[in-house]
Amino acid sequence: MTTTRDKNIILSYAHTRNRCLSCGTDDNMGRRKYCSIDCRQKLRYSLSMRTGLLKALSTKYATFYFTTALIFLDVLPYGSTSLFSFLFPRRSGRKPVDDFGTMANVLGRAWWAERRRTNKRYIATQHVLEKAQNHNSGSKSIKPFEIVKPARMAKSLTFLKLGRADLDSPQLQRIIKSAYRQQAKTYHPDQGGNAAVFRRVQQAYEQLMDWAENPTFTRHRGFPDKWFYEGSTNRWIQPAPIKLD
């Protein structure tokens, strides 16, 4: 759902200082994405508690993000190529999670009032969407980014001292066997090594060889500096570590 407008907002916001993606603070952030686990979980909980609004709007994808002045809720309904952006001003002294709750309550009350008045869900949905800014974007520009990673290989790679890039090699099995032999020289009990560590090396070797014969991957969808909602799962996902093009 990335448009030129919100890319510019995100980049200008992110480049000023590293801010918590949940509360916006820049105090002692360093290179962290969140100031604390509790802060991240509070926003996730608040977003999850208000997915009823997104269901009512027939949402396929949505994103939530904020600047020091505004909060944004972008919605892409099923069957639509138009992006609907709800912009609400931030209130002094309030966190984004509180501003989001206010915005969701306002939109939710508007939906229910129209629903009671007309007894038509689709009219209530249209009534709320008309309160948003409408961006007629092509479908390619409003789909989330996707990262594809080898499934659960990190520990095995570590035990054999291999990197993720090695998994892309056409000579992967040869690389795994060579790495295994190198670690076996160090940790095999017959060579005076640590038996417990050698068992982990052996398990890592077997797992990686199995993976080389039948590769499996995990897929994560999302945005680098936005919370992402997917209607098919009815779940909010925290910002993903994906770089913008």
Tokens describing residue 109: 């009350």
| pLDDT grade for 140, boundaries at 50, 70 and 90 | low
Q: Contact, 131 vs 88, CB < 8 A?
A: no
pLDDT digits (tens, 9 = 90+) for 66-77: 988 999 999 999
Q: What is the model's pLDDT at position 7?
A: 45
Domains annotated for the chain, with CATH where assigned, are 4-144+221-237 (no CATH), 152-215 (1.10.287)
**Among 83-97, 135-149, 219-233, which is the least confidently predicted range?**
135-149
Q: What percent of the chain has pLDDT over 70?
A: 86
Burial 162-180 (b: 16+ CB within 10 A, else e): beeebbeeeebeebbeebb
In this model, does residue 6 exceed pLDDT 50?
no
Cα–Cα distances in Å, from 216 out to 94, 168, 177, 203, 212? 44, 13, 20, 17, 9
Q: What is the model's pLDDT at position 89?
A: 93
Q: What is the model's pLDDT at position 208?
A: 92
| pLDDT grade for 53, boundaries at 50, 70 and 90 | very high
